[in-house]
DNA sequence: ACCTGAACACCGTTCAAGT
DNA sequence: ACCTGAACACCGTTCAAGT
């Protein structure tokens, strides 16, 4: 007498992601997910061999949310930037998952499709082999670094203080020791992650579109 | 009758870092560190208020290992690159700590000193305010992103396979679907983290030394 | 094929007690 | 001031048993 499965792998994935988004990484336990699904903890092991596999499911859920741009684009630079922006946005939408994404991104088939898309755009610059590899590494590292910096900075993992409080704290540093830190803390008041992403990306793209090293 | 303290905060810090370097992040528990020090678990709470504070100690130990370059430098670009390289090297020397560093770097006084040093070098480009902030974010994000990519890629968190195995797996992908992925996987065979760091950094620095956007 | 409870070996941390 | 053991509320996971 085969019973219909009580849950599905997809439900597992969605519940786990929702749990992390709501309560942070530390809240993501096998037992908590099981409770959320109304089953016994051990039931999950019918769908997932490990806690590690559950984490992978969460990462893949975020990766799947990347909406690759459709184009067409005038210059390959615009395409690279659009792809980078799409990844950045998806990752940023799930700040608590970022540490998981950074360490497990590569073990996902969908991320390989996205990588190939980015590489195709970068290859339009004429790069091949090692140069293409380095261009690829630069773009992906910058995107992930920016996403991470946003999480680690004002937001932090469990900071009590607001972003404005953090900036205020920086600005009240001894002026003779930290003049430039105080300068950018002031600039941060009227800045936004979006504007910083574009500025950083444009700096790199400017280097990428230079003819030679 | 005041007894001499059985351990010190410094010993705690060193033992914790050594433990993570040896056995990974998951092995870093209050109980394991206490055992390593030959004391009861609760003893640690005389030196640290929290597990979180222990993690912070580990991060600060790595941050303290950054050897800022002394100069002098011909161009500010060289100085920026040398500072970035110093951070990258220190972080890379402790791969298991990277997730901790990424999320807790900002809560360390020493890192502010290092940030100010980088900012001073970047300011020699003439940038101020928002432009300086974005230049700073670009460099630090790229450095941390590159360090993370190295950990997450071939090495992975607990990958069974070697870096060469990973590259071999990439190269045996369907050639019609992943031509560029296969191309850079081939290039990765003769590449090194060091050469990729320099190439990526040079791309960004090339953009940073452009006169205008 | 899928679900479950009991049990085991771990956690971080509180508390009350020791010196 | 510093150390400690017992206890509590959690973990992931194995195993044996149920349907």
pLDDT digits (tens, 9 = 90+) for B89-117: 999 999 999 999 999 988 888 999 999 99
Contacts 24+ apart (CB under 8 A), B156-162: B156/A103, B156/A106, B156/A107, B157/A103, B157/A104, B157/B24, B158/A52, B158/B24
Q: Is residue B136 less than 8 Å (CB to CB) from chain A?
A: yes
Q: Is residue A172 less than 8 Å (CB to CB) from chain B?
A: no
Q: Which two tokens stand for residue A205?
A: 């793209």
* CB proximity A43–strand C (7 Å threshold): yes
- How far apart are the CA of B125 and the nearest CA of chain A, in angstroms? 13
**Average pLDDT score over residue span B26-51:** 97
**Average pLDDT score over residue span B13-33:** 97
Enter the pTM of the model. Answer: 0.94
In this prediction, the residues of chain A whose per-residue pLDDT falls under 70 are 1-3, 153-162, 211-213
Find the closest chain A residue to B121 by CA distance: A180
Contacts 24+ apart (CB under 8 A), A71-80: A76/A121, A76/A122, A76/A124, A76/A125, A77/A205, A77/A208, A77/A209, A79/A121, A79/A124, A80/A118, A80/A121, A80/A122, A80/A139, A80/A205, A80/A208
pLDDT in tens, A167-180: 777 777 889 999 99
Chain B residues within 8 A of A179 when measuring between CB atoms: 116
Q: Which two tokens stand for residue A140?
A: 């992906």
User: To probe the interface with B, which of A91, A137, A176, A191 has the most B CB atoms within 10 Å?
Assistant: A137
**Average pLDDT score over residue span B191-202:** 97
Nucleotide nearest to A2 (CA to C1'): C1
Nucleotide nearest to A47 (CA to C1'): C2
Q: How far apart are CA B138 and CA A206, in angstroms?
A: 13
Q: Is residue B63 less than 8 Å (CB to CB) from chain A?
A: no
> Which residue, counting CA atoms, is nearest to the C1' of nucleotide D11?
A29
Q: Is residue A115 less than 8 Å (CB to CB) from chain B?
A: yes
């Amino acid at each position: 007498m085969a019973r219909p499965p009580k849950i599905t792998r997809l439900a597992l994935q969605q519940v786990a992601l929702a749990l992390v988004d709501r309560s942070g990484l530390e809240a993501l336990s096998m037992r908590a997910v099981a409770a959320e699904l109304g089953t016994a903890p051990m039931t999950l092991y019918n769908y997932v061999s490990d806690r590690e596999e559950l984490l992978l499911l969460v990462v893949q859920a975020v990766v799947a949310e990347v909406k690759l741009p459709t184009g067409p684009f005038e210059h390959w630079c615009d395409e690279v930037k659009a792809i980078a922006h799409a990844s950045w946005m998806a990752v940023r939408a799930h700040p608590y998952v970022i540490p998981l994404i950074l360490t497990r991104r590569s073990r996902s088939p969908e991320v390989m499709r996205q990588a190939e898309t980015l590489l195709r755009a970068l290859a339009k610059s004429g790069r091949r082999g090692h140069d293409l590899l380095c261009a690829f590494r630069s773009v992906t590292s910058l995107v992930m670094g920016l996403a991470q910096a946003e999480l680690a900075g004002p937001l932090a993992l469990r900071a009590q203080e607001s972003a404005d409080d953090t900036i205020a704290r920086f600005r009240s540093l001894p002026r003779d020791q930290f003049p430039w830190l105080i300068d950018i803390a002031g600039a941060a008041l009227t800045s936004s992650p979006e504007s910083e992403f574009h500025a950083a990306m444009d700096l790199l793209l400017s280097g990428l579109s230079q003819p030679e090293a």
